[in-house]
């Protein structure tokens, strides 16, 4: 079986974490299955092949007729015509915020790919992710077209579930389970644990460029000053703080900008892989994040976390862990900063929250196991 883990990649470390999470579970369930990804791999990953579609030089290598065994062993890829199972790990690709990216050619190409999989008896499953809202005509048409071909869409929060049922009503294809990276244990080499040790038991700050590009102008203009003041106040209170780049160049430049504005020196981590990032978040005393999977990685490892938000998915995740007070509002900068400082000054409250997060994390992880069990049953197995 050729299993495509779609819409997961390497630039965004949340997407990379989802890729590793799916790989780990699928190798447990289907050890003889071959795993494929669409994204260009920055480095060789054992037992992961690259998906190849129509190319300029395709006539040199007849993908459609060449046996998969040969293309895998000789070239390291799988043709899209050979995919048997598609697991979409897109995170948050379907909704009005992506409407400007939808065009007829892209939609038709996507649907034709899905149709080919279904015609050969394959399955198409959207693993837990955020959806909606769907108010723009193009985004509504797109989700309606995809819905026809999919076997199930797992929404990872109640609001996403509501956005789907608003269009399709209560439907057996629509289910709700949490983000599935919560059960993934980062795989770390011993040499990495040694140099990462100097960042343990500190406060981890994770900025996000989308807090400038995906929000209103009034929120965007306050984000960098807010993060700057927060970092300075934490340092003034003698807390050890470091910045963590959770994506790429955009977030890295944002970190540099924030540090420069503080007028002080701060340590920062960049160019880490998803395993290293989840590991160091789990070793932090506190995480202050604007990246969704930074929040998941913290809460699922019982690390208290505060976050800013550009989407409903942040508050919905905090609700899952019964820690709604973890939401920070940049337009209420002083109030939000005081909330963090007050939390850190109350040792008893801190320990109580860690204990509660541990209990909630166990519940969320059990739900993820149920989700994978449902996937397995859909494929004709039970475990």
Report the C-alpha dihedral over residues 72, 75, 79, 84, rounded to 10 degrees. Answer: 10
What single string gives the DSSP state of each residue in 191-251?
A: HHHHHHGGGTTSEEEE--THHHHSS-HHHHHHHHHHHHHHHHHHHHTT--EEEE--SSHHH
Tell me how far apart the alpha carbons of residues 345 and 163 are, in angstroms, rounded to a whole number.
40
**Considering only 50-54, 275-279, 281-285, 293-297, which range has the smallest mean pLDDT?**
50-54
Closest CA to 63 of 100, 97, 36: 36
Closest CA to 160 of 97, 202, 235, 253: 97
Identical fold between 2-184+364-378 and 190-362:
yes
**Considering only 90-104, 141-155, 177-191, 253-267, which range has the smallest mean pLDDT?**
90-104
Which helix (H) or strand (E) segment holds residue 145: the answer is helix 137-149
pLDDT in tens, 241-262: 999 999 989 999 999 999 999 9
- How many Cα atoms are found within 13 Å in the side-chain-facing hemisphere of 360? 22
pLDDT band at 63 (very low <50, low <70, confident <90, very high): low
Please say if the pLDDT value at position 383 is more than 50: no
- Crossing angle, helix 292-299 and helix 347-378, to 10 degrees? 100
For residues 139-161, give the mean pLDDT: 96
Position 61 scores a pLDDT of 56
Please say if the pLDDT value at position 55 is more than 70: no
What's the CATH architecture for 2-184+364-378? 3-Layer(aba) Sandwich (3.40)
For residues 368-380, give the mean pLDDT: 94
The CA radius of gyration of the chain, in Å to the nearest whole number, is 21
- Mean pLDDT, rounded, of the chain: 92
Q: How many CB atoms lie within 10 A of CB 127?
A: 27
**pLDDT higher at 42 or 103:** 103
Closest CA to 251 of 14, 3, 70: 14
**Exposed/middle/buried for 360, CB within 10 Å: 0-12, 13-18, 19+?**
middle
For residues 164-178, give the mean pLDDT: 97
Please say if the pLDDT value at position 310 is more than 70: yes
Position 1 scores a pLDDT of 87
For residues 195-206, give the mean pLDDT: 97
Contacts 24+ apart (CB under 8 A), 58-66: none
- Crossing angle, helix 137-149 and helix 158-168, to 10 degrees? 90
> Residue 43 in 3-state DSSP?
coil
Tell me how far apart the alpha carbons of residues 379 and 246 are, in angstroms, rounded to a whole number.
34
For residues 84-90, give the mean pLDDT: 95
Position 134 scores a pLDDT of 96
**Considering only 40-54, 304-318, 336-350, which range has the smallest mean pLDDT?**
40-54
What is the bridge-based pairing of β-strands 77-79 and 85-88? unpaired
Position 104 scores a pLDDT of 86
Q: Reply yes or no on domain 190-362 having CATH 3.40.50.2000.
A: yes
Please say if the pLDDT value at position 37 is more than 80: yes
Contact criterion met (CB below 8 Å) for 230 and 261? no
For residues 287-316, give the mean pLDDT: 97
Domain ranges (residues) in the chain: 2-184+364-378, 190-362
Please say if the pLDDT value at position 299 is more than 50: yes
- Crossing angle, helix 217-236 and helix 333-345, to 10 degrees? 30
Q: How many residues comprise the chain?
A: 383
Give residues with Cβ within 8 angstroms of 331, minimum separation 6. Answer: 218, 219, 222
Tell me how far apart the alpha carbons of residues 130 and 156 are, in angstroms, rounded to a whole number.
6
Chain CA centroid to CA 4, Å: 17
pLDDT in tens, 102-139: 888 888 989 999 999 999 999 999 999 999 999 999 99
**pLDDT higher at 59 or 220:** 220
pLDDT in tens, 319-357: 999 999 999 999 999 999 999 999 999 989 999 999 999
Closest CA to 183 of 335, 320, 18, 31: 18
Position 64 scores a pLDDT of 60
């Amino acid at each position: 079986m050729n299993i495509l883990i779609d819409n997961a990649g390497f630039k965004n470390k949340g997407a990379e974490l989802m890729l590793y999470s799916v790989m780990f579970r699928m190798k447990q369930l289907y050890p003889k299955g071959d795993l494929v990804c669409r994204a260009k791999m920055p480095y060789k990953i054992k037992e992961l092949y690259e998906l190849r579609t129509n190319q300029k030089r395709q006539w040199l290598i007849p993908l459609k007729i060449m046996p998969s065994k040969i293309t895998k062993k000789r070239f390291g890829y799988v043709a899209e015509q050979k995919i048997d199972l598609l697991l979409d790990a897109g995170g948050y690709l379907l909704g009005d915020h992506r409407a400007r990216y939808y065009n007829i050619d892209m939609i038709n190409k996507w649907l034709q790919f899905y149709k080919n999989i279904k015609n050969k008896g394959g399955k198409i499953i959207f693993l837990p992710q955020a959806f909606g809202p769907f108010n723009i005509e193009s985004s509504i048409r797109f989700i309606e077209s995809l819905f026809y071909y999919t076997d199930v869409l797992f929404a990872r929060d109640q609001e996403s579930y509501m956005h789907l049922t608003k269009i399709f009503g209560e439907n057996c294809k629509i289910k709700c389970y949490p983000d599935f990276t919560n059960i993934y244990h980062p795989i770390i080499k011993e040499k990495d644990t040694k140099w990462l040790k100097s960042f343990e038991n500190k406060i981890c700050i994770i900025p996000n460029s989308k807090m400038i590009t995906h929000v209103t102008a009034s929120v965007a203009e306050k984000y960098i000053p807010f993060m700057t003041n927060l970092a300075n106040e934490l340092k003034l209170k003698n807390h050890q703080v470091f910045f963590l780049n959770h994506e790429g160049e955009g977030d890295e430049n944002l970190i540099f900008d924030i540090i420069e504005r503080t007028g002080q020196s701060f340590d920062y981590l960049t160019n880490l892989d998803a395993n290293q990032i989840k590991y160091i978040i789990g070793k932090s005393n506190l995480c202050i994040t604007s990246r969704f999977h930074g929040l998941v990685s913290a809460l699922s490892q019982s690390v208290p976390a505060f976050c800013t938000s550009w989407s409903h998915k942040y508050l919905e995740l905090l609700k899952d862990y019964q820690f709604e007070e973890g939401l920070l509002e940049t337009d209420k900068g002083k109030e939000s900063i005081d909330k963090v400082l007050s939390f850190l000054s109350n040792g008893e409250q801190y320990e109580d929250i860690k204990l509660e997060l541990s209990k909630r994390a166990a519940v969320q992880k059990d739900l993820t196991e149920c989700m994978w069990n449902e996937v397995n049953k859909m494929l004709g197995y039970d475990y």
